[in-house]
């Protein structure tokens, strides 16, 4: 594997709307991000991924772009964006923007022109079909619920949208569409971006010609996955995109990829892969069900471990996964991966270390470094997330009571990750002086950056130590390029692995409230991380405290 400039970095995801509001309108913005660059640099962040801040009606919070070449005024101006790129650069931080090109907004000029003249140039930018009363072109269910077909306003046609109806899919089979995409990517790279996070990209290749698939719910529709599994040849598009854009700039590109087959991994993230890296979603998709969120099997510590190790084994040293415990589409990792009732400072640090030390590129989602938790939801009316609103209905239709349905939604809603960043114990967690667009998690009085930065034992301080360890010249080579080897893989509620390189590191976490003993295979030379102040041991046997995690340098 060739070494790349980004391999030893630490990345951080910002959800601009909820990060920091500089002008009191209740919406986070780019000047707000600029004012927090010091915080990020101090934490040790090198790569910043911004969720979309392009011009958008915000039907899906910016993942519905109406102009790829401008910044939405709610987030700032193009000058602000240029200033952010420049100011970040001064601190050694590079910026990734979100590339959302499976679809645009129905308010994009292309779509408006397609409505005006469906037979013209822009009609071919989308997937249009003649409307037949009572008969949809296909029976696919959109990710956010309901059929993927919607009437094309003012015409006798319908258009395809695999996400929300305000997110019409772009027709990648049309070379003109692809040219537009490449032009846009290069335009931004010319502004000095470090690269992109690539949204929903597995959806750009459709199985043609369109056809129905076996319905998988009472609604007579089927999940998009049925069609995607059949779609062949996405690599032609992805390879072309790489060659025409990222490759020329040595840019970093991380793909939102869910369904790669093991034999495709080298094409996706090998030395000359379509992407630099792709996210490991193995833990996030665990227990998923075609029926809906209400049918998800909750993940246990043993499942979590298995998912991580499986993903690691699948990729091996072919390339680099990007490791996450949460993002803007997922509930908070500490609320999901730590057994109910056990979410505490120790367990949060344990989860942090087990994930952060895996082979790959660590991505931290805003607030994760503080151990931010899911938000209590009292009523469905409080929910902003369009997918959560849909899943609430799905749960009701499946026969759950409204309380049960709300419980499901509270657990998995994307709002959990989107509540404002908790900066301090001041009003609105110091996020805004106005009214926040989404309710602040009431636990901000106890969980906030200002308090944690002063506290040596906080989750924040632990993250800072982990990041410093990844950059420590003595251990860097081992942590970044070492080979991961699971240890005691069959033991219950214990997750442990070696990172073997120039040095040998052992990462071991007691994934339960009760103590648990491990007999170390060799003696250790150094304790690199410990979420307790002591190690209880006798003759090489360590009695791990509840949720204790250790990173040890072993004698080889
Ligand atoms: C991705 C984004 C998600 C968005 C969807 C449609 O999954 O992460 O937030 O809703 O794509 O763009
Ligand atoms: Ca603002």
Read off the pLDDT of residues 336-373 as tens digits, 9 standing for 90 and up.
999 999 999 999 999 999 999 999 999 999 999 999 99
Is residue 310 part of the annotated active site? The answer reads no
Domain ranges of the chain: 11-101+175-383+415-461, 109-160, 483-554
**Rounded CA separation 281/259 (Å):** 10
DSSP 169: B
**Rounded CA separation 549/348 (Å):** 10
Q: Can you say whether residue 99 is alpha, beta or left, with left for phi > 0 and alpha for psi between -120 and 50 degrees?
A: beta
Question: How high is the pLDDT of residue 344?
Answer: 98
pTM, to two decimals: 0.98
Low-confidence ranges of the chain (pLDDT < 70): none
Question: How high is the pLDDT of residue 556?
Answer: 73
Domain 483-554 has CATH 2.60.40.1180: yes
**Rounded CA separation 277/288 (Å):** 24
Question: How high is the pLDDT of residue 1?
Answer: 87
Among 308, 298, 378, which residue's Cα sits nearest to residue 340? 298
Question: Residue 27 C-alpha to ligand 2 middle, in angstroms?
Answer: 4
Instruction: Encode 120-130: b = buried (16+ Cβ within 10 Å), e = exposed.
Output: eebbbbbbbee
Task: State which ligand 1 atom lies nearest to the alpha carbon of 164.
Answer: 6
Tokens at residue 551, please? Answer: 């990173």
Ligand 1 neighbours (beta carbon < 6 A): 60, 63, 100, 163, 199-200, 256, 328-329
Nearest ligand, CA 35: 2
381-384-385 Cα angle (round to 5): 125
Q: Determine which helix (DSSP H) or strand (DSSP E) holds 541, and give its type and residue range.
A: strand 541-544
Domain 109-160 has CATH 3.40.50.720: no
Q: Are 376 and 410 in contact (CB under 8 A)?
A: yes
Task: State which ligand 1 atom lies nearest to the alpha carbon of 387.
Answer: 10
Tokens at residue 504, please? Answer: 């040998």
Among 102, 24, 104, which residue's Cα sits nearest to residue 68? 104
Q: Are 217 and 290 in contact (CB under 8 A)?
A: yes
Read off the pLDDT of residues 456-509 as tens digits, 9 standing for 90 and up.
999 999 999 999 999 999 999 999 999 999 999 999 999 999 999 999 999 999
Instruction: Encode 174-195: b = buried (16+ Cβ within 10 Å), e = exposed.
Output: eeebbebbbebbbebbeeebbb
Q: Which of 256, 280, 330, 415 is catalytic?
A: 256
**Rounded CA separation 385/194 (Å):** 29
Is residue 256 part of the annotated active site? The answer reads yes
Question: Residue 509 C-alpha to ligand 1 middle, in angstroms?
Answer: 32
**Rounded CA separation 171/498 (Å):** 46
Query: Position of tokens 């994934």?
Result: 511
Q: Are 489 and 309 in contact (CB under 8 A)?
A: yes
Question: How high is the pLDDT of residue 261?
Answer: 86
Q: Are 56 and 48 in contact (CB under 8 A)?
A: no
Could you tell which of 68, 166, 199 is best to mutate to test the pocket of ligand 1, judged by most ligand atoms within 8 Å of the CB? 199
**Minimal-distance CA residue to ligand 1 atom 2:** 199
**Minimal-distance CA residue to ligand 1 atom 4:** 63
Three-state DSSP state, 252? strand
Could you tell which of 103, 161, 163 is best to mutate to test the pocket of ligand 1, judged by most ligand atoms within 8 Å of the CB? 163
Could you tell which of 200, 228, 284 is best to mutate to test the pocket of ligand 1, judged by most ligand atoms within 8 Å of the CB? 200
CB under 8 A, 24+ apart: contacts of 187-191: 187/69, 188/97, 189/245, 189/246, 189/249, 189/251, 191/81, 191/82, 191/85
CATH number for region 11-101+175-383+415-461 = 3.20.20.80
Question: How high is the pLDDT of residue 259?
Answer: 81
Q: In residues, how long is the chain?
A: 556
Query: Could you list which residues have their CB under 5 Å from ion ligand 2?
Result: 21, 23, 25, 27, 29
Radius of gyration of the chain (CA): 23
Alpha carbon of 307 to those of 412, 420, 519: distances in Å? 19, 30, 24
Q: Could you count the other beta carbons within 10 Å of the beta carbon of residue 310?
A: 14
**Rounded CA separation 29/23 (Å):** 8
**Rounded CA separation 274/231 (Å):** 17
Question: Residue 199 C-alpha to ligand 1 middle, in angstroms?
Answer: 6
Tokens at residue 475, please? Answer: 């251990």
């Amino acid at each position: 594997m060739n070494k790349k400039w980004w391999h030893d970095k630490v990345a951080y995801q910002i959800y601009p709307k909820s990060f920091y509001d500089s002008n009191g309108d209740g919406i986070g913005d780019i000047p707000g991000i600029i004012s927090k660059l010091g915080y990020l640099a101090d934490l040790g962040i090198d790569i910043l991924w911004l969720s979309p801040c392009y011009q958008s009606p915000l039907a899906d919070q910016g993942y519905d772009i109406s102009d790829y070449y401008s910044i939405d005024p709610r987030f700032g101006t193009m000058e602000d964006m240029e200033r952010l790129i420049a100011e970040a650069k001064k601190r050694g931080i590079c910026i990734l923007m979100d590339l959302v090109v499976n679809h645009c907004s129905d308010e994009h000029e292309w779509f408006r022109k397609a409505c005006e003249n469906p037979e013209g140039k822009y009609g071919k930018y989308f997937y249009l079909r003649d409307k037949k009363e009572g008969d949809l072109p296909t029976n696919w269910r959109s990710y956010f619920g309901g059929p993927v077909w919607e009437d094309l306003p003012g015409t006798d046609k319908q258009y395809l949208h695999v996400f929300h109806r305000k997110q019409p899919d772009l027709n990648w089979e049309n070379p003109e569409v692809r040219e537009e995409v490449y032009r846009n990517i290069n335009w931004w790279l010319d502004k000095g971006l470090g690269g992109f996070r690539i949204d929903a990209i597995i959806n750009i290749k459709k199985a043609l010609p369109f056809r129905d698939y076996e319905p998988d719910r009472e609604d007579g529709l089927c999940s998009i996955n049925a069609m995607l599994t059949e779609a062949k040849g996405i690599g032609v598009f992805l390879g072309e995109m790489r060659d025409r854009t990222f490759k020329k700039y040595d840019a970093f590109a991380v793909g939102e990829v869910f369904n790669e087959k093991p034999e495709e991994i080298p094409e996706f993230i090998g030395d000359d892969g379509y992407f630099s890296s792709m996210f490991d979603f193995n833990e996030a998709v665990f227990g998923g069900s075609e029926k809906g969120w209400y049918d998800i099997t909750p993940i246990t510590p043993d499942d979590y471990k298995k998912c991580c190790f499986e993903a690691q084994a699948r990729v091996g040293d072919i390339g680099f996964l990007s490791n996450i415990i949460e993002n803007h589409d997922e509930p908070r990792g500490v609320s999901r991966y730590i057994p109910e009732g056990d979410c505490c400072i120790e367990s949060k640090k344990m989860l942090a270390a087990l994930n952060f030390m895996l082979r790959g590129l660590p991505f931290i989602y805003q607030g994760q470094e503080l151990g931010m938790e899911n938000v209590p939801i009292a009523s469905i009316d409080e929910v902003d997330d369009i997918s959560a609103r849909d899943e609430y209905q799905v749960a009701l239709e499946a026969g759950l009571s409204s309380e049960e349905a709300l419980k499901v939604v509270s657990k998995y809603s994307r709002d959990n990750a989107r509540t404002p960043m908790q900066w301090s114990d001041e009003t609105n967690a110091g996020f805004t002086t106005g009214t926040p667009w989404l309710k602040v998690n009431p636990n901000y009085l106890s969980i906030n950056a200002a308090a944690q930065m002063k506290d040596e034992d906080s989750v924040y301080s632990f993250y800072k130590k982990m990041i410093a360890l990844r950059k420590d010249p003595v251990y860097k080579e081992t942590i970044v390029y070492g080979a991961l080897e699971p240890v005691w893989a069959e033991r219950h509620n214990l997750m442990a692995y070696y990172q073997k390189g120039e040095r040998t590191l052992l990462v071991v976490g007691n994934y339960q409230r009760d103590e648990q003993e491990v007999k170390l295979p060799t003696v250790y030379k150094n304790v690199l991380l410990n979420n307790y102040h002591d190690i209880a041991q006798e003759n090489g046997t360590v009695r791990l405290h509840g949720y204790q995690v250790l990173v040890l340098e072993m004698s080889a």
